[in-house]
Amino acid sequence: MRRYGLRTFALGYLVVILLAPVAVIFYRAFEHGFWPAWHAVTTPDAKHAFLLTIELALIAVPLNTVFGVIMALLIVRHRFPGVGFVNAVVDLPLALSPVVVGFSLLLLYGRQGWFGHWLIAHGYRVVFAMPGMVLATIFVSLPFVVREVVPVLREIGTDQEAAASTLGSSGWQTFRRITLPAIRWAVGYGVVLTTARALGEFGAVSVVSGRIVGQTETLTIHVQAAYEGFDLVGAYAASVVLALLAVATLVLMTLLKPKEETR
Amino acid sequence: MWQAGQGGWSSFWDAVSSPEAVAALKLSLTVSVLVALINAVTGTAIAWVLVRDRFRGQSLVNSVIDLPFALPTIVAGLTLLTLYGPNSPVGIDVAFTRTAVLMALLFVTLPFVVRTVQPVLLELDQEMEQAAASLGAGSFAVFRRIVFPNLLPAILSGVAMAFARAIGEFGSVVLISGNLPFKTEVASVFIFGRIESNDSVAAAAVSVLLLFISLGVLLAIGALRHYATRFDHA
Amino acid sequence: MGIAARNVTKRFGDFTALDGVTVEVETGSLTALLGPSGSGKSTLLRVIAGLERPDAGTVLLDDRDVTGLPPQERGVGFVFQHYAAFKHMTVADNIAFGLTIRKRPKSEIRERVAELLALVQLSPFGDRYPAQLSGGQRQRMALARALAVEPSVLLLDEPFGALDARVRKELRVWLRRLHDQSKVTTVIVTHDQEEAMEVAERIVVMNEGRIEQEGGPQELYESPASEFVMSFVGPVNRLDGALVRPHDVEVAIEPNGATEEAMVERIVHLGFEVRVELVRADGAPLWAQLTRDQEQELELAEGQIVYVRPARATVFDH
């Protein structure tokens, strides 16, 4: 009997906080029918925002994946002084407010920034342009692949790799044939998380991009702009697109999840 | 990176102690603490129901927990605003109030405690609980003396992460709270405002403060992780 | 009657773990439930403890019907194979747990814990944590913990299964002595027939959810009720539809009327015993157990032809 009480409490909480809000978005977006929503989401600005978001993800995700795997290998396999520090730095994006991240980039690469100073003089625009947005996206989605791969690497241990090298396998071959297959699900899961984060980033990119409509507006920024411009249907429609991407992400996450979470 | 705390200590202090800044920081801190505590309870309850209970749709619920990780924060804010703001289909309007801020933060921090507690609960040797029962402990005593002490480190870990996330949260709060200074403006929104009005010093000052709090929390998480496993090694 | 389980049935899905099992254990005795995995012995123990609820049947402890009672109210002490130590508490707190729950005065608890630590020879380890103890020490702690609340019945579920051979042997002797001192009705579950024979006064042999035979160790060995019991309780050879104990296989150099020809395939020296692996003329394998002296007298060699005769063969009707 107590079990039903607890169950109701937990599930009820989930519905109120999580499920009902998301359901309502779909409702509101298609309240006036499918076509108005479709039109709202296929305006030039919206399309551009969508493409920009995808582009950013396409750059950030592969970079972070490669970086993540390398970092994970270093952290787990090579004891070096300052490992703890590197670990903490990798975790940093998770603890930092996105606004602070964006702001830091502004300070570094803006007109009066440490690097910005020099870069702008040489004709490179970083902030209020693509490069800045790319940097922001990379930074906020940095930790995921590392964090997923590290525990798996630790757990599988070096035995298999040692066996491979006694059989004549070179470093690269061992990596390709032994290590990589062993971590591929962790990497996959990490990639999904990275992608979700990159697609959904709002705060850091907002600050760094200057939110110039049609140029440096990502889909998430577009949602806010539409809402504040009273284009409610546009805002909801764009949200539906993002929500669908989120659901796709969830499905992939569920499929790739490394461990069991229910009995 | 935060070196724009230039202008000296006094202007830093001025910026940080301006009434609006203080209000924003206070709000962020109190709401984040509250959110962390609420999550400690609800997160553990949800984890328990997912691990120890059996019902249909359980794995679906398990997948749904990760929704706040997958959904962009701005969309989360918009959905909450739609459901619990003006024109709400269920007639609840908490837009532009602190409750709204609380709800937005509860949404984005939901998975943290659940996901740290779940694996520990799964690994927990149920024979310890059975042994306690055979020695005469009732259900509540078993929970209090056996289960809870073993879950506590995981709960704390999750709580720390939830707090770190909540205190810097921007996207989900920016729509539903209305960003009314002194009322519903959180620290991150305040910083954003200062950036827009080109007040770098104020923005930097509060950023630095938030940064220190974040770093503090990171260290705490690290220490907790070590504490958590102290019974597992001699 | 210390423990009486009557007509207990327990199913897990399609699998019947216990099929109308009835067992009675005398007060103050040390009984073993012996059987292979899946025989239902652990399930029966857990039903007695209240950790499992039977689908049918009753359980009585000291003539009190406890069938509907949760484990908290049965007054049983239970010891798990993997210790179930409260890893976040010290050894002393572990042992004190039952008393702490019953809200006994601190001084009483301290005294009793000290007594028990001495009883299980863990006195210097009171302030350590279970993780700092060896397996054998942890199990002794678990025993002390179970005994602390003076249970009327002590139940041990393969208590030495997770320990290495030497520690296992030590603890068996130790358990016997403990029982002689405390005289608590004790039931131990094991799949190790040697352990059962060494430790228990009475053995209940189980297989596939039913009881095959009950009796003292000698009785089970000499007069097994079925093929299963005979082959489980000691080694056997199958010869022409009968079961023969290896030490009942007589080996001779010269034939005499009743013997058969066999060739020595291998001689294995196991300290005091010698195992002689043989193969008969028709290809059937068998092995004989000889003492060192017997083997030396015969001076056997591999490949040698010898003459064997079962001194005693047992046949069961199926």
User: Do A79 and A137 share a domain, yes or no?
Assistant: yes
* Mean pLDDT (whole number) for A89-114: 80
> What is the C-alpha to C-alpha distance for residues B70 and B162, in angstroms, rounded to an integer?
16
Tell me which of B123, B130, B134, B143 to substitute to probe the interface with C (most C C-beta atoms closer than 10 Å).
B134
| B147 CA: distance to closest CA in chain C (Å) | 10
> What is the C-alpha to C-alpha distance for residues B141 and B53, in angstroms, rounded to an integer?
20
User: Do A219 and A109 share a domain, yes or no?
Assistant: yes
Residues of C in contact with B233 (CB under 8 A): 131
The number of beta carbons lying within 10 Å of the beta carbon of residue A150 is 21
* pLDDT tens figures, A21-48: 778 878 777 777 777 777 777 888 888 8
Q: Tell me, what's the ipTM? A: 0.79
Taking each helix axis from N to C end, the angle separating A44-77 and A232-256, rounded to the nearest 10 degrees, works out to 30
CB spacing of A261 vs B110 below 8 angstroms: no
Hey, which chains touch B, using 3+ CB pairs under 8 Å? Answer: A, C
User: Do A142 and A221 share a domain, yes or no?
Assistant: yes
Q: What is the pLDDT of residue A263?
A: 38
Q: What is the pLDDT of residue C310?
A: 86
User: Do A22 and A136 share a domain, yes or no?
Assistant: no
Q: By three-state DSSP, how is residue C98 classified?
A: helix
CB spacing of A227 vs B78 below 8 angstroms: yes
Residues 187-216 of chain B with CB under 8 A from chain A are 187-189, 191-192, 195, 200, 203-204, 207, 210-211, 214-215
Q: Which residue has the higher pLDDT, A260 or C245?
A: C245
User: Do A83 and A177 share a domain, yes or no?
Assistant: yes
- DSSP one-letter string for C251-307: EESS--TT-EEEEEEEEEEETTEEEEEEEETTS-EEEEEEEHHHHHHHT--TT-EEE
Check whether A209 has a pLDDT greater than 80: yes
B34: CB partners within 8 A, 6+ apart: B102
Mean pLDDT, chain C, rounded, equals: 91
Chain C residue with CA closest to B150: the answer is C88
* Mean pLDDT (whole number) for A71-80: 81
> What is the C-alpha to C-alpha distance for residues C51 and B112, in angstroms, rounded to an integer?
34
Tell whether B217 lies on the interface with A, counting CB pairs under 8 A: yes
Q: What is the pLDDT of residue B147?
A: 92
Check whether C112 has a pLDDT greater than 90: yes
CB burial readout C239-256, b (16+ within 10 A) else e: beeebbbbbbbbbeeeee
Residues of A in contact with B6 (CB under 8 A): none
Q: Which residue has the higher pLDDT, C148 or A175?
A: C148
Tell whether A193 lies on the interface with B, counting CB pairs under 8 A: yes
Q: What is the pLDDT of residue B8?
A: 53
CB spacing of B188 vs A98 below 8 angstroms: yes
Q: What is the pLDDT of residue B232?
A: 58
* pLDDT tens figures, A246-262: 888 888 888 877 654 44
User: Do A146 and A204 share a domain, yes or no?
Assistant: yes
CB spacing of B234 vs C71 below 8 angstroms: no
The shortest CB-CB distance from B128 to any of C76, C84, C146 is to: C84
Q: Which residue has the higher pLDDT, C190 or B221?
A: C190
Tell me which of A11, A103, A199 to substitute to probe the interface with B (most B C-beta atoms closer than 10 Å).
A103
Tell whether B3 lies on the interface with A, counting CB pairs under 8 A: yes
- pLDDT confidence band for C208 (50 / 70 / 90): very high
User: Do A25 and A132 share a domain, yes or no?
Assistant: no
* pLDDT tens figures, A123-161: 777 778 888 888 889 989 989 999 888 888 888 777 887
Q: What is the pLDDT of residue B101?
A: 87
| CB of A217 closer than 8 Å to CB of A211 | yes
| CB of B155 closer than 8 Å to CB of B117 | yes
Tell whether A97 lies on the interface with B, counting CB pairs under 8 A: yes
The shortest CB-CB distance from A95 to any of B75, B106, B164 is to: B164
Tally of structural domains, chain A: 2
* Mean pLDDT (whole number) for C96-122: 92
pLDDT, mean of each 10-residue run, chain B (234 residues): 49 70 85 91 92 85 86 87 76 76 90 90 89 90 90 87 89 80 81 82 82 78 70 53
Query: Which structural domain, as residue segments, surrounds residue A12?
Result: 1-30
| CB of C160 closer than 8 Å to CB of C196 | no
Q: What is the pLDDT of residue B133?
A: 92
* pLDDT tens figures, C36-60: 998 999 999 999 999 999 999 999 9
Q: Looking at domain B16-228, which CATH architecture does it have?
A: Orthogonal Bundle (1.10)
Q: By three-state DSSP, how is residue A258 classified?
A: coil
Residues of C in contact with B150 (CB under 8 A): 87-88
Which amino acid makes up residue A262? T
Chains B and A touch (3+ CB pairs under 8 A): yes
| B152 CA: distance to closest CA in chain C (Å) | 11
Chain B residue with CA closest to C155: the answer is B134
User: Do A21 and A39 share a domain, yes or no?
Assistant: no
> What is the C-alpha to C-alpha distance for residues C231 and C239, in angstroms, rounded to an integer?
13
